[in-house]
Structure 1
Amino acid sequence: AGLALCDGGLVVDLSRMTAVEVDAGARTARAQGGCTLGHVDRATQPHGLAAPLGVVSQTGIAGLTLSGGMGWLRRAHGLSCDALLSATVVTADGEVRTVDADHHPDLFWAIRGGGGNFGVVTSFAYRLYPVGPEVHLCNVYYPARHAREVLRACESHLAATPDAGYAPLGVFGRVLADDELPAGLHGEPFVALLALYPGDPAEGDAALRPLREITEPLFDLSGVTTYLAAQSLLDEDYPDGDRYYWKSVSLPGLGDEMIGRLVDHAARAPSPTSTVDVWFQGGAMARGPGEETAFTGRHAPYLIGIEGNWSDAADSERNIAWVRDTFAALRAFSDGGIYLNFPGFLEEGERLVRESFGANYERLAAVKAAYDPGNLFRHNPNILPKA
């Protein structure tokens, strides 16, 4: 969203604060606020444990967790903010506060989904779950012309296995030039299904096989890998120095018409590295802890991520226009929710933020007034302090 830096303001850079302390017996970890997913995963995986974080190892845990945090484990173990046990927060008055269910519970509620509105979070304590070190990863690419069949089959499979701990991610894109792939496939539109089985890899092979045999794939890169490798599988898709402009929209369903729209919009992307992603939700993410966190949107069955990714500054205008046009077209079918980790530039400002938080906005505004009445922390999807 372009909010990491500001003119005439102060940037607080925590990137050197990367210590992680793991208590394997208690299945908890405390990570400093500058950690990426990679820092946390490398500390927890020697114990066969993981926190439910995101899907790109270079992502910072702070922004991810404060605005919810969706990853491979969302159906098995919920969101990143659901696993948060406590945090250390430096508030606008300069106080260093330990927040948890018993200490400043209003602030603890707000930082689990309310974003960076309430202070600088310098450490996060997470509940850990048994995952890895080896996992089975589904990573199969189908021709985009079979998108309806593929997504409908995935939808039906999850409906028939509601307790499945794996959370598929559908990706519309184009096959990039790769020496390991036949040249005839380069540029081919695809719909991919990615999913990580968090349990025994042998069980994962059987559980994920229905997602890999929907129709004849373009290619299938599925198999047993390490959890660390799975967590960094998508890293190379987001190189430092490129340009990124993303938005998101929650959807109540995936009808044939909607799938057709997703195919059409993905095909119009000016950049071959841009994608339209379908996050299949549900499971532990939808079950709870509900009102104990400020996060909204956990009950929407689908989240669409619109990822504008390109390299040349000269292409910025048309790539941004594609993201905005796609967002506007899909938003007409939405219940209004967006995921504030994929917000794009917030052209609509307070209106879109209010819409995103829904019934939680007024309560968040009251917490904001208690801890940041002057709106010091405002370079974000901003919640105005309640008067």
Structure 2
Amino acid sequence: MTTYTPTLDHQLLERLRGSVRGHIVEPGDPDYDEARKVYNAMHDRRPAIIVRAVDAGDVIATVDFARDQGLPLAVRGGSHSVPGYGTCDGGVVLDLGLMHGVRVDPETRTAWVEGGATWADVNHATYAFGLATTGGVVSTTGVGGLTTGGGMGYLARRCGLACDNLVSVDLVTADGSFVTCTSEQHSDLMWAVRGGGGNFGVVTSFAYRLHPIADILGGPVFFPLDGDVIRRYRELVAEADDNLGALLVVGLGPPVPFLPERWHGRPLCGVVTCWTGPEDEDDRIQDRLAALGPVLGRHVERMPYPVINTLFDDLVPPGLYHYWKGTFTQGLSDGAVEACVEYGATTPSIQSVTVAFPIDGACHRVGPEETAFSYRDADYSFALSGTLTTRADCEAQKDWVRGFHQALEPHSMEGGYVNFIDGDDQNLVRANYRANYTRLTDLKRHYDPGNLFRLNHNIAP
């Protein structure tokens, strides 16, 4: 494979070296191949340089270098971007992974989180104070990409999306400016980064509102892959109060000890529960889950909230081959249920898991124009994840995801969640933002007219 290698301006590169306290990695360096890896092995790219930043000064210097050199700029947090936007060929990778500090103020229930932190970093720091905020469902996911795209997780029904809990961000814009954004200052940028992705700059620090959540009742219950089970799940979510987070999963039985071996690798569905309500109601929740259908296996118990955020970590380690699509639905129609049963039966691997995230409750109490994330009338967000352990059969894996997405289309809303769609869905960007798209393009034109931040689901200026 031939990769374009740009000629770097020696003077600009030396200026960058003198400005950066972190580590600059170039082709030929012993750690180059390791430094260029990203979570999704589908993307094997060779950047011209990788800057491992340690502070906002490094970020500013790197943004200035990429802009002045005219190079593509990929911003990497947890490196989980399924389309591979955390890397590039022949450009600059700004790796924030060393910027992962978290500071918690328990009195104001606020956490200040550096831009390269993961949800494992956040959950560890906040749990010590009996606090939490909405994060992802894999602990190695970076806070930056998840939050700026919207941010779904177990706590969304009670606490809202991750972006709903943002109270401020520190942002480096395309001209190298460092700005602090809140509802009072640079409020236009604050609005844009709450769902607008990485289009408007590099967030070096997030401040999150925290909630009094420590131990929860959580874990998975598995059932046969049956439409009646999914319809009963639909009723459960519609009736439950916001303290119940309950993700629907459809896939193949994982090799876990609480699931009989005869079900390993066979199609099934399940509910991953996160109950943050009173402990004396745990038995009622357990009974309600058991009533969904024949229980094949379960592991639901009291646990620290950070633990539930790690349950899928071993199933999807770095280095697998991912291809995703996503869609929003209002309710869970019988047609959507039938599509889940049909395509769930042909799931391509144990690592391929379809997840439906309920995003009603607190998510519905934010207006569609209050943040850039506009799907406040959606009840579910589907992640259709085709994942393999080798590159073989990747085209068949993509066909399965596309077919599933097409089967859901008549039962879905236009557009999809930016964190669940792949790089071949750039044509959906306008639909992803609906009525907010025009305002976002105006802001993009003002803050990034040259489209420096284009390695994303791009809002073109």
Structure 1 counterpart of 2:161, which letter? L
Q: 1:322-352: CA deviations, max 9, x gaps?
A: 112211222233221311111112x242x31
Residues 11-26 of structure 1 correspond to what in structure 2 (within 5 A)? 11-26=93-108
Over alpha carbons, which structure has the higher Rg? 2
Aligned counterparts of 2:286 and 2:259: Cα–Cα separation in 1: 23
Aligned counterparts of 1:253 and 1:332: Cα–Cα separation in 2: 13
Residues 41-52 of structure 1 correspond to what in structure 2 (within 5 A)? 41-52=123-134
Aligned counterparts of 1:44 and 1:249: Cα–Cα separation in 2: 31
Q: Which has the higher contact order (CA 8 A, sep 6+)?
A: 1
Residues 1:381 and 2:381 aligned together:
no
Residue 401 (structure 2) aligned to one of 295, 320, 323: 323
Aligned twin of 1:352: 428
Residues 1:135 and 2:216 aligned together:
yes
Structure 2 counterpart of 1:266, which letter? G
Residues 1:173 and 2:255 aligned together:
no
Shift of 1:12: 0.7
Shift of 1:138: 4.4
Aligned twin of 1:224: 302
Residue 361 (structure 1) aligned to one of 437, 440, 451: 437
Aligned counterparts of 2:270 and 2:258: Cα–Cα separation in 1: 17
Aligned twin of 1:302: 380
Aligned twin of 2:204: 122
Aligned twin of 2:363: 285
Shift of 1:16: 0.2
Shift of 1:204: 3.4
Shift of 1:164: 2.9
SS for the counterpart of 1:93 is coil
Aligned counterparts of 2:332 and 2:441: Cα–Cα separation in 1: 34
Structure 1 counterpart of 2:189, which letter? L
Q: 1:171-200: CA deviations, max 9, x gaps?
A: 111113345543222222111011201233
Aligned twin of 1:98: 180
Structure 2 counterpart of 1:198, which letter? T
Shift of 1:208: 4.7
Shift of 1:100: 0.5
Aligned twin of 1:149: 228
**What is the TM-score when the length of structure 1 is the normalising length?**
0.94
Aligned counterparts of 2:130 and 2:219: Cα–Cα separation in 1: 20
SS for the counterpart of 1:341 is helix
Cα gap change, 1:178 to 1:156, in 2 (>3 Å): closer
Shift of 1:365: 0.4
Aligned twin of 1:204: 282
Any conservation in 2 of the 1:197–1:208 contact (CA below 8 Å)?
Answer: no
Residue 259 (structure 1) aligned to one of 337, 361, 383: 337
Residues 152-163 of structure 1 correspond to what in structure 2 (within 5 A)? 152-161=231-240, 163=241
Q: 1:250-306: CA deviations, max 9, x gaps?
A: 122323332121111122222232122222221001111542211022321122210
Aligned counterparts of 2:224 and 2:271: Cα–Cα separation in 1: 11
Residue 83 (structure 1) aligned to one of 165, 169, 190: 165
| Percent of aligned pairs sharing the same letter | 41
Residues 1:269 and 2:347 aligned together:
yes
Residues 1:38 and 2:120 aligned together:
yes
Aligned twin of 2:390: 312
Aligned counterparts of 2:432 and 2:256: Cα–Cα separation in 1: 39
Any conservation in 1 of the 2:327–2:383 contact (CA below 8 Å)?
Answer: yes
Residue 193 (structure 2) aligned to one of 111, 135, 149: 111
Task: Report the RMSD for the aligned CA atoms in angstroms.
Answer: 1.5
Aligned counterparts of 1:30 and 1:36: Cα–Cα separation in 2: 13
Residue 340 (structure 1) aligned to one of 410, 415, 418: 418
Any conservation in 2 of the 1:248–1:342 contact (CA below 8 Å)?
Answer: yes
SS for the counterpart of 2:324 is strand
Any conservation in 1 of the 2:218–2:302 contact (CA below 8 Å)?
Answer: yes
Aligned counterparts of 2:147 and 2:212: Cα–Cα separation in 1: 20
Structure 1 counterpart of 2:388, which letter? W
Shift of 1:157: 2.5
Aligned counterparts of 1:201 and 1:236: Cα–Cα separation in 2: 28
SS for the counterpart of 1:168 is strand
Any conservation in 2 of the 1:169–1:194 contact (CA below 8 Å)?
Answer: yes
Any conservation in 2 of the 1:110–1:293 contact (CA below 8 Å)?
Answer: yes
**What is the TM-score when the length of structure 2 is the normalising length?**
0.79
Give the gaps of 5 or more residues in structure 1.
none
Corresponding residue pairs, total:
379
Any conservation in 1 of the 2:367–2:376 contact (CA below 8 Å)?
Answer: no
Shift of 1:89: 0.2
Aligned twin of 1:6: 88
Aligned twin of 1:233: 311
SS for the counterpart of 2:401 is helix
Aligned counterparts of 2:99 and 2:219: Cα–Cα separation in 1: 34
